[in-house]
Amino acid sequence: MTATDVHVAQAPPASTPTSPRSPRRLRGLPAAAFLGLLCAGWQIMSVLVDSVLVPGVPAIAAELVEIVVDGSFVEQLGVTVLRVGLGFALAFVVAVGIGIAMGRSEFARRFFEPAVLLGLTIPGLVWALLCVIWFGIDLINPVAAVALSSAPALMLTIYQGTRSVDPDLLEMAHVYRFSRVTRLRRLWLPALAPSLFAGARLGLSLGWKVIVLVEVFGMSSGVGYQLNNAFAAQNVAAVLAWTLLFAIVMAVLEYGVLQALERRAGRWRKAVTV
Amino acid sequence: MTAATRIRLTGVGKTFVDARSGARQQVLEDFSLTVEPGELVAVVGASGTGKTTLLHIIAGLVQPDAGEVDVGEPRLGVVFQQPRLLDWLSVRQNVVLALEAAGLDPAAADDALAAVGLADYASSYPTVLSGGQRQRVAVARAFAVEPDLVLLDEPFSALDELTARKLRLLLQELWMQRRRTGLLVTHNPLEAALLADRVIVLTGRPARISASYRVDADRPRSAEDKQLFDLHSHIVAAL
């Protein structure tokens, strides 16, 4: 049980933008400065170490350009994203059902709690190994690994979110005899939106980590497979290039897509003006 | 639809047991009450006298431990102390959901909102409305579903007095247009006298009906009416 007693309907989370903004042009400056320093630092290190194991920035950049231009990055990324997407979607649907059930029923909570706790403590690496052993190279392998590793965190977040859903609204839905579908769509999901987004972030970040492992161990395509190839060829520049591009795409998905969705879901909060 | 629903409670008992301490509180014991079709009964009592429990039992939100509750399967229109709106949906959508759940034409939402003076706010989010306006939406929703039974649980007690007065008059007006069977739970004796056909006073624990008054004054009534004020004094004396 948690102490989160926030009433979603009444207390918008601190994400509401009220802090004074710096001028638009200057906002990206600190981040750009950090990245610039990182590149410069890396380059200095590579010159000082002078080893094939620490390639310089130009070598990494050349590798980056190559995998983007020859189309292999987009192709392999597509494969990986599809696997993560399917696995995550599966975990999400299951976790919404079980998470709400855990919040609604003491029995469900006691029943699923051990599964969630166990699932949270099992390392993603173990799921990756087990799924490779059990499912081989079928699509179900990466999907299951992603689902198994991200579902427990999602369930926990959603379950905790149900504690903040106003019971008065559930009573209202009961006396007006809202159907199950209406309750889910119009009451539970919107009320749980903050938890769903927090859970999605956490679940996706776990999913990315596991998918790469699965692809390293048991797949013949995907970003992880390419990383493994580069590793086998001792091509450090390629390992770094693949990792960098993958990280950038994940960041765009998370900060671009998820945040845009979250803002959309939270439109009504902005209406609080009186 | 006619107001054919009758509420009949016979020998109803309810005891709440505190889950932690195990302390038992008997709120109702052998409690009986009949509300005739088309009658609006106000239940007045101090806080903690089981008024809201009574309403929850009739609404099916609480199961009694003993006795019989005979209300049939009425379609309910309920106004709670808080508006209980879905803040992420527009005002219209809030009413539409209740209409759809009742199998009625969603287009009726706009008429319902117009009847409470909120036609201009149909597309707004409830969060931009004042407390009184939000409660108007709740009233619109309750009447929009063409209820067999209207349950009002301290509907105006969270509002300032001026706003509450306006809403009482609005409720009276709606009641005159579409009479239903109704139960109004309130701790405000004047509100009870103004709106109800019969006022019962609950006291003690377990609660018993310590007084009952029939209000014969014609509607529309005015809060300044001498007759109502006298009744109000009687109720206060019985509390």
Mutate to test the interface with A, among B97, B104, B139 (most CBs of A within 10 A): B97
Residue A274 has pLDDT above 80, yes or no: no
pLDDT value, residue A264: 84
**pLDDT(A5) > 70:** no
Task: Tell me which amino acid residue A169 is.
Answer: L
Residue B60, chain A, CB below 8 Å: the answer is yes
Mark yes or no for CB contact A268/B125 under 8 Å: yes
Cα(B71)–Cα(B148) distance, integer angstroms = 10
Question: Is B205 part of a structural domain of the chain?
Answer: yes
Phi and psi dihedrals of B225, rounded to 5?
-60, 130
| Residue A12: pLDDT band with limits 50, 70, 90 | very low
Return the number of CB contacts < 8 Å for A and B.
62
Q: Would the CB atoms of B125 and A190 count as touching at under 8 Å? A: no
Taking an 8 Å cut-off on Cβ atoms, the answer to whether A271 and B125 are in contact is yes
Q: Which residue of A has its CA nearest to B77?
A: A176
B98 contact A CB<8A: yes
Nearest to A168 among B80, B127, B145 (CB): B80
Instruction: Please tell me the distance in Å from A191's CA to the nearest CA on chain B.
Output: 8
Can you give the pLDDT at residue B147? 95
Question: Quick one: pLDDT band at residue B217, thresholds 50, 70, 90?
Answer: confident
Mean pLDDT over each residue of chain B, to the nearest integer: 92
- Please tell me if residue B78 touches chain A, with a CB cutoff of 8 Å: yes
The residue that leads in pLDDT, A274 or B64, is B64
Question: Which tens digits make up the pLDDT trace of A14-61?
Answer: 444 444 555 666 788 898 999 999 999 999 999 999 888 899 999 999
* B130 with A274: Cβ contact below 8 A: yes
CA angle, corner A268, sides to A267 and A274, nearest 5? Answer: 125
Q: Give the range of the structural domain holding residue B156, as residue numbers without chain letter.
A: 7-74+148-238
Interface check B237 vs A, CB under 8 A: no
Specify the pLDDT at position A22.
58
B76 touches chain A (CB under 8 A): yes
Range with lowest mean pLDDT among B51-65, B78-92, B214-228: B214-228
Would B124 be classed as within a structural domain?
A: no
Neighbours of B127 (CB within 10 A): 19
Within 8 A by CB and 6+ apart from B84, the residues are: A168, A169, A171, A172, B138
Q: What is the predicted pLDDT for the residue at B36?
A: 94
Q: Distance between CA B99 and CA B105 in Å, rounded? A: 7
The residues, any chain, with a CB within 8 Å of residue B16's CB and separated by 6 or more, are B24, B25, B27
Neighbours of B210 (CB within 10 A): 14
Does the structure show a pLDDT above 80 at B127? yes
When pLDDT is averaged across residues A123-149 and rounded to a whole number, the result is 91
Kindly indicate the confidence band of residue B3, based on its pLDDT and cuts at 50, 70 and 90.
Answer: very low
Going by pLDDT thresholds of 50, 70 and 90, the confidence category of residue A272 is low
| CATH homologous superfamily for the domain A55-269 | MetI-like (1.10.3720.10)
- Is residue B169 included in any domain, yes or no? yes
| pLDDT band at A136; cut points 50, 70, 90 | confident
Query: Among partner residues B89, B102, B128, which is closest to A186 by beta-carbon distance?
Result: B89
Q: What is the mean pLDDT of the segment spanning B83-91?
A: 95
A1 has a pLDDT exceeding 50: no
Instruction: Sort out which chain A residues have CB atoms less than 8 A from B102's CB and list them.
Output: 176-177
> How does DSSP assign B154-207, residue by residue?
STTTTS-HHHHHHHHHHHHHHHHHS--EEEEEES-HHHHHHH-SEEEEEETTTB
Q: What are phi and psi of A22, to 5 degrees?
A: -80, 160
Average pLDDT over residues B9-37: 91
- List, for residues A80-124, the tens digit of each pLDDT value: 999 999 999 999 999 999 999 999 999 999 999 999 999 999 998
B189-204 pLDDT, tens digit each: 999 999 999 999 999 8
Please report residues of A whose CB lies closer than 8 A to that of B127.
268-269, 271-272
At A195-230, the pLDDT tens digits run: 999 998 888 888 988 999 999 988 889 999 999 999
Overall domain count for chain B:
1
Closest A-chain CA to B88:
A268
Q: What is the pLDDT of residues B134-183, one digit of tens each?
A: 999 999 999 999 999 999 999 999 999 999 999 999 999 999 998 899 99
Pick the more confident residue, A266 or B38: B38
- For residue B207, give the CATH number of its domain: 3.40.50.300
Average pLDDT over residues A238-254: 88
Q: Is residue B117 assigned to a domain? A: no
What's the complex ipTM?
0.91
- Whether the per-residue pLDDT at A261 is higher than 60: the answer is yes
B 108-137 → A contacts, CB under 8 A: 124-125, 127-130
Residues on chain A touching B87 (C-beta within 8 angstroms): 9, 268
